[in-house]
Amino acid sequence: MTDYDIRLLDDSEYRTAHTLFRGTLHHGPAPDEQWKFARETYDEGRVFGAFGGGEMIGTLQSFPSRLAVPGGAVVPHAAVSRVGVRADWTRRGVLSALQRAQLRALRSGGDVFASLRASETAIYGRYGYGVATRYRSLRIDRRKAAPRTRPVGRVRLVEGEAGERIAHRLFAELSPGRAGTISRWPAWWSLNVRRVAAEENIKIAVRSGASGDDDGYVAFKVAPGRHDSSEEKPTTLMVLDLWARDAEAWADLWLFVLGVDLVAEVSAFGRPVDEPVEWLLGDRRACRVTEETDETWLRLLDVPTALSARAYRQAEPVVIGVRDAYLPENSGSYRVAADGVTRVDDAPELVLDVDVLGSTYLGDVSFTTLAATRRLDVVDPSALARADALFEVSTPPWSGTFF
């Protein structure tokens, strides 16, 4: 017997859940003006609460989204967020119970995947989440950068809600795109762009090419420093969100932010690990990677559907055995081949937990790497090369959306 209960929340309880979550991050309740935006992000049937002693003691929720997988398919996906348990109720199974209820509900509701951004990396593997994409952060000394080329299209600043509308439309056209990218729910824009733009003076620049059609945008803000040669407080332009239809539009957007006057440094957070910004510069050492870390923690909710959704390279088949303690219906053997996936009774050649499958699924890490670090059991050593070849991707996966 437990001394707490788990259930879905209704509209009257959302603000209590929001305050509880903020408290687990050591923040106070959201002011009324901020709550006005946050309220839009609570969807009926997607918010769970844990109750003990007549009070809410834990919560988590998800946002409806879609995920791009290798091969171009776009699959129903839940973006999990606002996970927290009150400090006086931790280590008592509350989070495990919340996770169990949510995972079951998401699978029953038709979501094939769930993903989250982890505040602490030791927590989520036990619930079946594995690191599936990475990002890097950059810092560019604009005074030394000396770009090798100039923009070939037109980049213009678009103020206020007009800029948000264009960015929203372009993002919808461009994503989901590469494997790992996700769709953004409508309230994402009001909370992360409209609210923040008003508070932090975010600017949106839109790029158009020879045809005159918009084909990319960048959202950025400038943190003022000293406009002299001070190394202590340089004026920094921060790239917050940059999406482009093609390489030409991408280069023009980067060249635009590198060309903004009275800026000493350009920084960017959450960019793809293969983004070749340094190759735009005359001095590539002006661009430093300040961080490379985990981005998407991916959870396969419906393993057979997920494995069948993505494309595979040409290689000999491999039989993978999957273990899933929270959704045991996923456990079993799967024959993965270039032409599809079948659930089989055959003995597995590789055996792994569902979190490890999540890490390999988008192609960011190989089975051989995870075998070397003892994250999976190798029954047939020859299966590693076959699995690596089948799951290989040409472009590293990346999401580019924080939530």
What is the reported pLDDT for 231? 65
- 265-271 and 236-244 as β-strands: parallel, antiparallel, unpaired? parallel
- Give the single-character DSSP code of 258: H
Give the whole-angstrom CA distance, residue 364 versus residue 395: 9
pTM, two decimal places: 0.95
Residue 285 region, left (φ>0) first, then alpha (ψ -120 to 50), else beta? alpha
CATH number for the domain that contains residue 174: 3.40.630.30
Q: How far apart are CA 358 and CA 32, in angstroms?
A: 39
- The whole-chain average pLDDT of the chain stands at 96
**Per-residue pLDDT tens digits for 111-136:** 999 999 999 999 999 999 999 999 99
My answer on whether 285 and 313 are in the same domain is: no
309 lies in some domain = yes
Residue at 397 is within a domain: no
Same-domain status, 176 and 102? no
Nearest alpha carbon to residue 109 among 172, 57, 170, 65: 65
Task: For residues 273 and 314, state if they share a domain.
Answer: no
Query: Within this chain, do residues 53 and 172 fall inside the same structural domain, yes or no?
Result: no
Quick: pLDDT tens for 8-45.
Answer: 999 999 999 999 999 999 999 999 999 999 999 999 99
One domain, residues 66 and 191: no
176 and 232 in one domain? yes
Domain boundary among 264, 293, 322: 293
Report yes or no: 345 and 331 within 8 Å, Cβ to Cβ.
no
**41 and 155 together in one domain:** no
Res 199: pLDDT: 75
| Amino acid, res. 32 | D
Domain co-membership, 140 together with 175:
yes
pLDDT band at 149 (very low <50, low <70, confident <90, very high): very high
Domain count, the chain: 3
pLDDT value at 229 more than 70: no
Residue 331 sits in a domain whose CATH number is 3.30.1050.10
172 and 307 both lie in a single domain? no
Pairwise CA distance, residues 363 & 369, whole Å: 12
What is the dihedral angle through the alpha carbons of 294, 299, 305, 310, rounded to the nearest 10 degrees? 0
Check residue 287 and report its DSSP letter: E
Residues 100 and 25 in one domain: yes
| Enclosing domain of residue 74 | 5-111
Mean pLDDT of 215-230: 84
The answer to whether position 128 is within a domain reads no
Same domain, 257 and 145: yes
Domain end point (choices 293, 327, 357):
293
At 339 the pLDDT is 97
Residue-wise pLDDT for 324-341, tens only, equals 999 999 999 999 999 999
